[in-house]
Amino acid sequence: MSDAQDHPQIYLITPTEFDLSTFPDQLSACLDSTEVACVRLALATKDEGRIAKAADALREVTHERDVALVIDSHILMVERLGLDGVHLQDGARSVKKVRKDLGDDAIVGSFCGNSRHDGMTAGELGADYVSFGPVGQTPLGDGRVAEFELFEWWSMMIEVPVVAEGALDADLIRKLAPHTDFFGIGDEIWTHETPAKTLTALRSAMLG
């Protein structure tokens, strides 16, 4: 993953549950429809076998297209499954150890909610990117959102690439596009009948 030069890039997040008989084709269509920088395997299950099967299937799709594949939280599965890195959900707490364990070549990302302090600390400890969210209003979680001002400040002051994710829509994407390196797109497209078409539309919003 590298930060965007002119426009934000797409950081695609899988559904928390999906059918392995159909989802790889959906993902392929998305990756073929527009440029994607990275895919995050974000299954909710703790079933190691199911995660491994999903990772194998998606790795085939992503690596064929030279797209990085990271996994949500499961640090020990990164090397075992031949993945490119991990997305941590505990702010800055694990970054230093995980960076040491996985080495310099692995992607280590950190979700920091709406905490500027956590984000800065994660970056200082070696995170390749920091993710803030949710950006839009959602009944899920505790009601806190990552405000526009956070991304505006980050883009001016911090060099570590930043991801905006959670409850995005075209208007929010247009507003944030000058101030973020990546948009984490997930449920925004997977609930639609043709995810690739929806992704292309959101990509247009990123370009202004």
Look at phi and psi of residue 66 and say left if phi exceeds 0, alpha if psi is from -120 to 50, else beta.
left
In this prediction, residue 4 carries a pLDDT of 40
Task: Label residue 184 exposed, middle or buried (CB < 10 Å: 0-12, 13-18, 19+).
Answer: buried
The pLDDT, as a whole number, for residue 91 is 95
Q: Which are the contacts of 36, defined by CB distance < 8 A and separation ≥ 6?
A: 9, 10, 11, 12, 30, 67
Question: Does the pLDDT value for residue 42 go beyond 50?
Answer: yes
User: For residue 73, what are the CA distances in angstroms to 2, 59, 106?
Assistant: 21, 17, 14
* Phi, psi at 36, each rounded to 5°: -125, 135
- Structure confidence at residue 208 as a pLDDT band (50, 70, 90): confident
pLDDT at 11 over 50: yes
Q: Which amino acid is at 72?
A: D
Mean pLDDT of 160-178: 98
What pLDDT score does 147 carry? 97
Q: What is the pTM of this model?
A: 0.96
What the chain holds in terms of domains, given with CATH numbers, is: 9-206 (3.20.20.70)
Q: What is the predicted pLDDT for the residue at 140?
A: 83
Burial class of residue 88 in the structure, from the number of CB atoms within 10 Å of its CB (0-12 exposed, 13-18 middle, 19+ buried): buried
